[in-house]
Structure 1
Amino acid sequence: MRLFAKRMRTRKPSHYRSGMTAATLEGIPAIILFQLLGGPFLTGYLLYLGASSFQIGIVLAIPSMANMLQIVGALLIQRYTNRKLLFSFLCGFHRVMWVAAGALPLLLPKEFGVIAYIAVSLFGFAGQAIGSVFWTSLIADMVPARVRGRYFGIRNTILWAGGCLAILVFGQILDRMPEPEGFYILYIVAAVCGVLDIVLFLKYPSPPFEKSEQTNMTAMLSVPFRHTKFLKSMLFISLWLFVQGISVPFYNYVMMDIMKISYNWISIATLTQNVAMVAGYFMWGNLNAKYATRRLLFWTLPVIALSCMGWGALPFMPDKAVLVVIHMLIGVGVGGFNQLMFNFVVGDTPKKERPMFIAVFYALTGLAGFLGPLSGGAVYKMAAGAPVWVALYGISLGVGVLMLVVAATIGSRVLLDKKLQVRRLGGTGWRRSG
């Protein structure tokens, strides 16, 4: 028995296990970086720089707009097949530029801060968008299909636990320190996480890449559009992200600029969301091992809609109690939606054509994700001249009702298979389809 145990301890980990461990370790500094630079503190930082709601909408829409460049990545990957090298360079470039986008305005006159942030971050997220095609294709090959749902559930749980801690700590720091000094510390820590993330990129394996069977660019681009189920799902998800983008990205804006809530309480609300998201990742990941991805994706939709509608309870219930419930719902809903959407793209697509499926999917949904916050920023700007309740809860309540209608009508038709049960010949059991 001891000899067997010794052999088990000294045996080298499998290629798959090493890759999954590397992806998990790399994700920890990455999620801290994303929480510090892209979470609620981004809205606070932009308000400190003097940004309007419309400018905040532009900044929030930049990552989605950049995703339209993923088609460029899908074409490049057919020529430059060293996915580890390319994603390390491009995503590393993003980390450097994103930190620089926030650090530069601290050194410039305040009137140029927002413009400088937008300009520099555009370059950074362009690199992230192209590099993510290489990363997604690589990690899809690194994680076996049979454990994919559960692995990403566990990985995301670990990562977001780190994100929760970062939110909690920096909520305290920013609440206790004058704004410029607090943001100095934030960007120093973000820079350290960015460097560590780039170093950990090099721990990824580099499995061989299988090129597309298509002979030219037009043929490669047309493949995703010939798969009816994929096309319908992609169009619906794009519509959903557009509607969602009008309200959800502006939760922090409403709390900070309209409700005047402190950084400390903002961090508590966001921590609540992240804890719910961690629980959601684990829950949806386990369910995904048993049930079809598209079906579970549908059931995240009403949760997100209810989060938006929850703002309508503000006139009747204590503010903080409402905000806690809203953030719990959005954590479970959006966490599950993002995880299942990713699993859908990497799991329900043919391996050799996967980069183009990924690129087309994120290009179209990225366009919708860009137009949503842009429209939301314009809506909140127009609401500035309306009664306070319109911006406080009216917009989110209306968007939530619309989302619920869209989910019940279009979403149920696209994501739920009509042929739910198929009787096996010669038996009494039932089998799920789809």
Structure 2
Amino acid sequence: MISFKTRPQHRRKTSMQRRNLRVASLEGIPAVMFMTLLGGQFLTGYLLYLGASSGEIGFVLAITTFVNIVQIFAAYLIQRLRSRKWTLVLFVAVHRVIWGSTGLVPFIVPKPYWVPAFIVLYTVAFMFNTLGGILWNSLISDMVHPKVRGRYFGIRNTILNALGTLVMYGGGVILDHEPGGKGFLLLYIIVWVCIAANIAVFFFYPDIPFERSSEKRFIPMLKKPLRDASFLKATLFLAGFLFLQNLVVPLYSYVMLEMLHINYQTLSLLNVLQTVSMMASFYVWGNLNVRHSNRRLLFWTLPIIALSCLCWGLLSVLPMLPVLIAAHMIFGIGVGGFNQLAFNFMIGDTPKAERPMYMAMYAAITGVAAFFGPLIGGNLYELIGHWPEWTRIYGVQIVVGLSMLLLTVSLGRKILRNS
């Protein structure tokens, strides 16, 4: 009799876990579609269509990371929530709707105010996104069992990135065939369909009870990650590296569109190659993660990212397209490992009860650093506008790449590799 009661319960539990994983995977499909069409090269292209300067583009690319500081307060507030799920649904819906509304700017705002209106809507949208982000990270870490976490996210990331490459290429084709406002209107129509589907799937997320912090007050809760010397050193180092990376990487699309005069379809193909390289690297980094720690592998992703920046210097002696292909593929390998291992570091190397505040602290510190990267980078391109063209096309990348290597071999070896 005992066996008959136990086995169905086990099957029901397993079935519920699989259902949750399927829901999380399904939710990612419309999410990656509209995020691809609203971000990256399409975001830069849309801002150029609205009349934005390189400094304004740098600010927009930076603001999404700066608002991560709000996660610190969100990590404290979620300890008092009765339901993570429904709060997540609310924040997600508001973020998606406001971000999608940026497509209405040319229709409802006078032309001189297109860029300011976009910036306001974009900033408000990502304020809600950063609040929803910490709730999603907290909820998904409870939905996915630690034993299958690495494999599940590897498979999920591979599938979603494969879809993202197709959407990216398709979006590039649309903009090349229908340049200007009509092309972006078509993209936003697809975006709104995906937004509606994405919000609907979130209603099927489970509302899992979560382990609350032993601290009830904000300041003691805030101090816990700050007193974790190992965590804080690693976070501050990664923040410094991301600052250097974001001086140039978010502005790649700007350089290629404005200075190298590459069309959207070629730009899409380059980003597709980058994403394919990222997908292939997930499997390799995942297998290495079985034998090596998150921090040690994080260290080895850094020189690869730096090398991708240095590759731009080859534009001085080699044809443009092969150099850009190599730079994008190497960056995909490095950043794929970095993103996967940084996420594993956050949800696997931190105490479960304090994980929301640890995640928020990591996001806030790295977010502030990543904010100033594209902001300074965008203004730097304006300041050196009268310099020789090569300094703007690949000179800045060489200087930043060398700086990233120097930071890695000096502080990175001590902080990450020897941890």
Fold similarity call, TM over 0.5: yes
1:128 aligned partner: 129
1:101 aligned partner: 102
Mapped partners of 1:24, 1:397: distance in 2: 39
Mapped partners of 1:164, 1:297: distance in 2: 25
2:343 aligned partner: 342
1:228 aligned partner: 229
Distance apart, 1:338 and its partner CA: 1.2
Mapped partners of 1:310, 1:135: distance in 2: 36
Matches within 5 A, 1:7-406: 12=12, 13-406=14-407
Matches within 5 A, 1:387-426: 387-417=388-418
Asked if 1 retains the 8 angstrom alpha-carbon contact of 2:103 and 2:185, the reply is: no
Asked if 2 retains the 8 angstrom alpha-carbon contact of 1:345 and 1:357, the reply is: yes
Equivalent AA in structure 2 for residue 413 of structure 1: K
Asked if 2 retains the 8 angstrom alpha-carbon contact of 1:105 and 1:117, the reply is: no
Mapped partners of 2:325, 2:15: distance in 1: 43
Structure 1 SS opposite 2:210 = coil
Residue deviations 1:246-267 (CA, integer Å, cap 9, x gap): 0111110100011111111111
Structure 2 SS opposite 1:384 = coil
Larger fraction in helix: 2
The 1:377/1:124 distance shift into structure 2, 3 A limit, reads same
Asked if 2 retains the 8 angstrom alpha-carbon contact of 1:105 and 1:116, the reply is: no
Mapped partners of 2:82, 2:365: distance in 1: 24
Equivalent AA in structure 1 for residue 297 of structure 2: L
Asked if 1 retains the 8 angstrom alpha-carbon contact of 2:248 and 2:397, the reply is: yes
Distance apart, 1:215 and its partner CA: 2.8
Mapped partners of 1:193, 1:53: distance in 2: 29
Structure 2 SS opposite 1:321 = helix
Distance apart, 1:106 and its partner CA: 4.4
Distance apart, 1:92 and its partner CA: 1.7
Unmatched tracts of structure 1, length 5 or more: 1-6, 418-433
Distance apart, 1:366 and its partner CA: 0.7
Identity %: 48
Mapped partners of 2:337, 2:90: distance in 1: 29
Mapped partners of 2:202, 2:41: distance in 1: 26
Equivalent AA in structure 2 for residue 150 of structure 1: R
The 1:285/1:105 distance shift into structure 2, 3 A limit, reads farther
Asked if 2 retains the 8 angstrom alpha-carbon contact of 1:71 and 1:356, the reply is: yes
Asked if 1 retains the 8 angstrom alpha-carbon contact of 2:277 and 2:329, the reply is: yes
Structure 1 SS opposite 2:214 = coil
Structure 1 SS opposite 2:410 = helix
Distance apart, 1:127 and its partner CA: 0.4
Equivalent AA in structure 2 for residue 214 of structure 1: E
Mapped partners of 1:283, 1:101: distance in 2: 38
Mapped partners of 1:21, 1:379: distance in 2: 45
Structure 2 SS opposite 1:353 = helix
Structure 2 SS opposite 1:256 = helix
1:422 aligned partner: none
Asked if 2 retains the 8 angstrom alpha-carbon contact of 1:81 and 1:209, the reply is: no
Equivalent AA in structure 1 for residue 92 of structure 2: C
Query: C-alpha root-mean-square deviation of aligned residues, in Å?
Result: 1.6
Tell me how many residue pairs correspond in the alignment: 411
Mapped partners of 2:197, 2:399: distance in 1: 43
Asked if 2 retains the 8 angstrom alpha-carbon contact of 1:94 and 1:127, the reply is: yes
Residue deviations 1:383-424 (CA, integer Å, cap 9, x gap): 21111001100001110011011111111111112xxxxxxx
Distance apart, 1:140 and its partner CA: 0.8
Mapped partners of 1:365, 1:55: distance in 2: 21
Structure 1 SS opposite 2:291 = coil
Structure 1 SS opposite 2:80 = coil
Mapped partners of 2:223, 2:371: distance in 1: 23
Residue deviations 1:273-305 (CA, integer Å, cap 9, x gap): 111111122322232233211111111101110
2:4 aligned partner: none
Mapped partners of 2:277, 2:111: distance in 1: 37
Deviates further, 96-105 or 343-352: 96-105
Mapped partners of 1:160, 1:121: distance in 2: 24
Equivalent AA in structure 2 for residue 72 of structure 1: F
Mapped partners of 1:16, 1:286: distance in 2: 24
Equivalent AA in structure 1 for residue 333 of structure 2: V
Mapped partners of 2:128, 2:33: distance in 1: 19
Residue deviations 1:108-162 (CA, integer Å, cap 9, x gap): 3332111111000111100010111111011111111222222211111011111
1:428 aligned partner: none
Mapped partners of 1:229, 1:100: distance in 2: 42
1:421 aligned partner: none
Structure 2 SS opposite 1:87 = helix
Asked if 2 retains the 8 angstrom alpha-carbon contact of 1:150 and 1:289, the reply is: no
